[in-house]
Amino acid sequence: MIKKEMLCVLGRQDIPVIQEQPDFIVDLLQTNILMFGSAMSGKTNLLKLLVTILHKQYRETDEQIFILDFGGALAEFENLPLVAAYFDNANEEYVKRVFKLVEDRLKENITELKGKNYISVNSEQPIHTTLLIDNVNAFIDEPRYSMYQEKLAKLCRDGLSKGITIVMTASSTKGLGSYMNSFKQKIALEMPAESYTDIFNHKVIPVGNNPGHGYANVTVIPKNIKATFPIQNAYELQLNLADSITKPEFYENAYRVFGNRSVKKYKRFPETLTESEFYRFAENVTYEGNTAYIGLDYTECKPYGINYESTKVISIYGKKEFGKTNLLHRLIKPLMDDGMYHFVFFDDGREQLKDIYDKLSKNSRSVYIQGYEETVIKTKTGAENIVKLSPIQLFVKHIHEYYMDMSGIRRMSNLVLNDIFGSGVSINSFAGENIRTNTVFVLQSKFLYVNSPAAKIFMEIILPSLAARAEENNWIFIFSDVKNISDGDNRDNFNSCIETAFLLDNIAEFVSERGQKSVFGNMDVKSLKEEYAKCEIGDGYVYSIEKDDLKKLKIIKEEV
């Protein structure tokens, strides 16, 4: 449907200069709406009225509504057919998410309209978008939302001509001076006398405690009014009473009209995303085999998973107690259930992989390496010596024996095995005869990241060689708690092998602190602060290095 106007009758006005009491009408294609009023003066009634009118006059192909509720009175709107998203201010990420979605809609509309205004096109228009913000003062006064204020100002300035209307309620004019010029339609209910002057630039008689009663200028002249009058003046207004959205008959009528149809929904996630909740949000999604589903993409509300056909080297960064072990469980769960994989756990004194290994301990296909251990090492002369090997020596020995024969690999002029175990050793390898495929390496040892000769050889020689063979042999490497790597060459070698990285931390702060010392190091701190809210427990980021694609996720809480 081509829309040249979107008229909403919101009440009646008294215009003494022409001795008329016409309908109070707004055209959502011609004006944004800014409404002021004290508590209990009727601001919420106006929003309800507007929402119910839109549901009566338009369908899901014509209109979508986004709601940011800083007043806490609009939760009942969430499930209405035209409401694409309802979010309160409990989680900063949702505020960011709404601005991201509406900004993207503005960019898409600009492209689709090809430089024309929304009402100027005679061909198919993009869906119209209404953004409702209740109690915008709370938004402006909250320091954590300061980075979104310019985004709001841009939407107020540029959105209207491209099919995006902003409707805001406020309790005072404080902090709104820079926004006022973007709102042709202003409404003021009960307010202090001086506030009316700030809003309309002239004095009016305060309305007192009379809910729904106030003042408004005129932006749409009713067709039956022939006389002229100053439309920017404030005229007395009585708002209509909104239909009760809480009454069953309202929903019954909506379901009758809309059926099962609605706009695309962007839902709030539960504080803890269980697996059953994940599948409820991800209904009608086709799931791929050999994929570990991690959680839901915050912006698109779509399932996110790691497909092990294409991803072989994964790293996990994050704060303590932020869910790294839970994420590891999600990553390896389908591999454990598969039954065809070997597992090699390389742990350290923290023994944080022990519980997972114990679940597989009856499976002879799992190996656990974590401490110093005495073992027999042969010399080249055939003599057997009992030596105490460090965890990283044991790990390299296991790789040499079953996965990659390192007998002839040199680093500079020295053999790698001699550099790690000492000269004159002879360690047999079975990898050349019967290489082990289908193996998951879970690497959580801090010994990998210290500045030692063995760690340096691993990062410089062994890991790149293993990663190069990973796809051919179906090897999967998960570095489950990446530490800071002080040696620049080691760090570069490690980063070059990673294909997908997870971060369970506030990304802007993490990048600011680590700089170039991680796979996230090339990102711009300022843009990260603007685009991503702080992480709540259960949140995380995933970065596809090859695609240069960063997403924020609500991660599934593994049920123990």
CA 303/CA 291 separation, integer angstroms: 11
* pLDDT tens-digit readout, 186-196: 999 999 988 99
How far is residue 466 from each of residues 34, 340, 479, measured CA to CA in Å?
A: 61, 20, 14
CA 327/CA 122 separation, integer angstroms: 51
Task: Output DSSP code: residue 60.
Answer: T
CA 404/CA 399 separation, integer angstroms: 6
In degrees and rounded to multiples of 5, residue 195 shows phi and psi of: -70, -35
Q: Is 84 a residue whose pLDDT tops 90?
A: yes
* pLDDT tens-digit readout, 102-113: 999 999 999 999
Give percent of the chain with pLDDT exceeding 70: 97
Give the residues across from 387 on adjacent strands: 375
Same fold, 7-258 and 288-369+438-555: yes
Contact 208, 71 (CB under 8 A): no
Outline where DSSP puts E strands in 217-334: 235-239, 291-297, 303-307, 313-318
Among candidate residues 249, 255, 253, 213, the one with its CA nearest the CA of residue 234:
213
* pLDDT tens-digit readout, 397-416: 999 999 999 888 888 778 88
Place of tokens 């070059």: 496
* pLDDT tens-digit readout, 119-135: 998 888 999 999 999 99
Q: Is 293 a residue whose pLDDT tops 90?
A: yes
* pLDDT tens-digit readout, 318-327: 988 889 999 9
How far is residue 84 from each of residues 31, 127, 129, 532, measured CA to CA in Å?
A: 21, 12, 9, 21
Give the residues across from 368 on adjacent strands: 345
CA 474/CA 437 separation, integer angstroms: 6
CA 277/CA 272 separation, integer angstroms: 9
Amino acid code (one letter) for 364: S
Tokens representing residue 181 in the block = 């010029």
CA 178/CA 5 separation, integer angstroms: 27
Q: Which CATH superfamily is domain 288-369+438-555 in?
A: P-loop containing nucleotide triphosphate hydrolases (3.40.50.300)
Outline where DSSP puts E strands in 140-264: 164-170, 185-188, 213-216, 235-239
pTM comes to: 0.81
Distance in Å from the first CA to the final CA of the chain:
52
The hierarchical CATH code for the domain 7-258 is 3.40.50.300
pLDDT given at position 305:
93
CA 499/CA 516 separation, integer angstroms: 17
Domain coordinates of the chain in residue numbers? 7-258, 288-369+438-555
Tokens representing residue 59 in the block = 């369908």
Residue 341, classed as helix, strand or coil, is coil
How far is residue 172 from each of residues 138, 169, 175, 188, 189, measured CA to CA in Å?
A: 10, 9, 9, 10, 11
